[in-house]
Structure 1
Amino acid sequence: MVAPIVQPGQTIYSDPINALVQPHVQASVGSFNVPSGGSTYTAVAFTSTLSGNTASMWSVSQPTRLIAPTAGVYLIHGGVIWAAALGAADARGEIRANGSGTPAPGTRVSTQRGSTGNMQATATGTVTLAAGGYIELYLNTQSGSTIAATTTLGITRISAT
């Protein structure tokens, strides 16, 4: 492909350039309280975005959801820091798609087993979403008390379907 030539004085509009950048968002929450409970998972409510180029991908009105503006395969990226001591208990996370009660195929959040605090887990994977589809991050701990977690989660479209 021949590189486009821009002539002196020519106006370059941002829409064609912005269309080359895939839609993405990275949401975060500084401290989210996860109640203790055997198999009870709690959806993380994010409070802000760290970065993004499509405003419709996260909203305060639906703080748990990262929404796909267009159909495609999305890369999942983020992490969880379990700030408090877990003792000998486990702390886990699941990425779920479109309101499912089970983890989305192709996604992973590592389990943290027992710690003295400030342990990290990584959220990764890929998921295929229709336009308007969404993902959520659910956390669980069996520590016997509420545990605070610092969390980020993002999605970036890596291909159209």
Structure 2
Amino acid sequence: MTTAAHRIEELILQTDASGAPVRLEYVRGHTRWEASPSSRHQKMLQRIERSVRPSFDGETGCSCSTLVDVLIRFPDPDGSFKRPDLSIFCTEPPDSDEALEVLPVAVVEILSPGYEDKDLGLDGAPFYLAHGVVDVVVVDPRTGVVFHFQRDRSPVTLQAPVTLDLTCGCSLDVP
């Protein structure tokens, strides 16, 4: 890891440890911040996380392990760090006090007012897909609109409540 990337990771982790009311990310050479999430955001996230399970259509070998709000280092030239609202892994990720270097197979982002571009713009779904995440689900908890982005497929817009079957062999419910 470069010295600059190490300093950025350290700054993000120190901000987390201090209890600051912001969440920091570093994406494609730019620091991004977001205010701490609202109760609407957190409640939707909890409902979705509780619903994640292996799909019933066959054995995929994916454990559908989840982590909420975990810092992940992406393998891009800028040394980007993102913090998906919900990350889904096929193998349980390691315990770590630093950013994970294991990429999730799927992520779920919950839109917050004023930060829609963070999840729907270039640093959101397109960034995740370009770096190996296979499914990206973006949920607007105020309207119930659900965007499902998949590698090599056109995005799909749905209306909650909906059950999604992910490429990795996991399913989730958006209430």
What range describes the TM-score normalised by the shorter chain of this pair? under 0.3
Higher relative contact order (CA 8 A, sep 6+): 1
Whose helix fraction is larger, Structure 1's or Structure 2's?
A: 2
TM-score (norm 2): 0.24
Whose strand fraction is larger, Structure 1's or Structure 2's?
A: 1
Q: Greater Rg, structure 1 or structure 2?
A: 1
